Amino acid sequence: MNVLSESEARTRGGVVWLIADVVITLAAIGLFIFGVVVDNVPLVIVAIVIFLAAVVISVSFFMVQPNQAAVLTLFGDYRGSDRAAGLRITNPFYFSRKVSLRVRNFTTVTSKVNDSNGNPIDIAAVVVWRVTDTARAVFGVDDFTSYVHTQSESAVRQLARSYPYDAFDDSHVTTLIHDTSEVNENLLVELQERVADAGVEILETRITDLAYAPEIAEAMLRRQQAAAIVAARAKIVEGAVLMVREAIEALEDGTDGHDAIPLDSDRKATFASNLMTVIASDHPTTPVVNVGTLSR
């Protein structure tokens, strides 16, 4: 299948032609009046012909705004695109369709999709794009704006199905919530492949709305809180063990080999248990002071 691509149209600047058109029109009118006054039929006919030529020139003008292109066709045949801004002139039989080359953006509708783990999530993204090939934009698809919107919705849904929202047990898995840069880059590549036929360049894609669906949001929040508590507890215990070991070693070594306090296995166990309780407890501990001794 032959893919139609943009080509440069054969047009010219229209300012000089506009001045010439005004001069020709005034000359035709003056010649016509003079021919009528002197009753010279051939002169009147020449004036009419010149005036018709001025009319043809007048209908050959078209205007192109900055960051805009005119797609020109002749009886349904593509004749090129003109990106030069200002007043332009071309074949009077050409039909021009204006296409904006400005950067555009929109936000997709928030969709409920199951992630790769089967959990329902709400997701939406912002897409920044522009037209780079006007011929494909006009003739490649029926409506390139609607095409980009539809493909963006589809790409966002496909992205959500490809990744889990979060990975509680595996930190090496790419997730939607933690690996936003990678996910956004993959979304851009996926969407660019989808809209290539429309002559569109995707400049940026970014997830703007991401959350668990309301029906499971509370349960997943409790799970996240539990995972955070477990992780925090593991870190506290790890630090507490290190502190207890260093405290026992400091007691047994003393200060520069002096004031050492030797501890047997039972006292080490009791000391470690008490210190671990103080360090790892959720609430402030109440010490029990032993002012006597249990042995006689």
Write out pLDDT tens, residues 6-20: 899 999 998 999 999
CA distances from 8 to 66, 84, 87, 204 (A): 17, 10, 17, 28
pLDDT given for residue 68 in this prediction = 95
Give me 25's structure tokens: 């029109």
The C-alpha atoms of residue 14 and residue 274 are separated, in whole angstroms, by 93
Instruction: Give ∠ CA 278-279-284 in degrees, rounded to 5.
Output: 50
Assign 2 a pLDDT band (cuts: 50, 70, 90): low
The C-alpha atoms of residue 143 and residue 198 are separated, in whole angstroms, by 9
**Residue owning tokens 């007048």:** 58
Give me 191's structure tokens: 């969407």
Q: What one-character-per-residue DSSP string does 217-244 give? A: HHHHHHHHHHHHHHHHHHHHHHHHHHHH
More confident residue, 64 or 285: 64
Could you say which DSSP state residue 257 is in?
T
The C-alpha atoms of residue 50 and residue 27 are separated, in whole angstroms, by 8
pLDDT given for residue 62 in this prediction = 93
Could you say which DSSP state residue 86 is in?
E
> DSSP 3-state assignment of 138?
helix
Q: Burial level of 59, CB count in 10 A (0-12/13-18/19+)?
A: exposed
Give the alpha-carbon dihedral of 267, 271, 276, 281, to 10 degrees: 120
Assign 228 a pLDDT band (cuts: 50, 70, 90): low
Give pTM, 2 decimals. 0.70
How is the chain split into domains, by residue range?
12-99, 104-212, 218-280
Give per-residue pLDDT as tens, 243-289. Answer: 777 777 777 776 665 667 776 777 767 767 776 677 666 666 666 65
The C-alpha atoms of residue 94 and residue 72 are separated, in whole angstroms, by 6
pLDDT given for residue 295 in this prediction = 47
Instruction: Give ∠ CA 201-207-212 in degrees, rounded to 5.
Output: 150
Q: Is the domain covering 104-212 a CATH 3.90.1170.40 domain? A: no
Give per-residue pLDDT as tens, 117-148. Answer: 888 889 999 999 999 999 999 999 999 999 99
